[in-house]
């Protein structure tokens, strides 16, 4: 076991902090983020922002694959 966390990979046009708060408040939330989300991991996403919608849509799956390969547990909606 690598000891790396499970992460949720999604895309949003909002500031990541605002989107996380909405997940936790149950506003258009992913149930796993709402129940188990603890914090954001900016080191994993800051290098990707900002990004156009089309770029984000194509990168979302790719990022999940890369994180899984690096030993993270990944949840994607």
Is 28 inside a domain boundary? Answer: yes
pLDDT of residue 48: 87
Is 1 inside a domain boundary? Answer: no
Using one digit for the tens of pLDDT, what is the confidence trace for 7-65? 999 998 899 999 999 999 999 999 999 999 999 999 999 998 888 999 999 899 999 99
The residue range of the domain holding 43 is 6-76
pLDDT of residue 70: 95
Using one digit for the tens of pLDDT, what is the confidence trace for 58-76? 899 999 999 999 999 999 8
pTM of the full predicted structure?
0.84
Instruction: State the Cα–Cα distance between residues 25 and 12, nearest whole angstrom.
Output: 16
Number of structural domains in the chain: 1
Q: Which residues of 24-50 are buried (b: 16+ CB within 10 A; e: fewer)?
A: eeeeebeeebeeebeeeeeebeeeeee
């Amino acid at each position: 076991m690598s000891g790396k966390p499970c992460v949720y990979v999604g895309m949003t046009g909002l500031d990541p902090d605002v989107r996380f708060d909405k997940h936790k408040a149950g506003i258009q939330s992913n149930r796993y983020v709402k129940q188990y989300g603890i914090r954001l991991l900016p080191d994993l996403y800051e290098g990707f922002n900002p990004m156009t919608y089309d770029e984000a849509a194509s990168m979302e799956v790719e990022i999940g694959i890369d994180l899984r390969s690096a030993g993270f547990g990944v949840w994607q909606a």
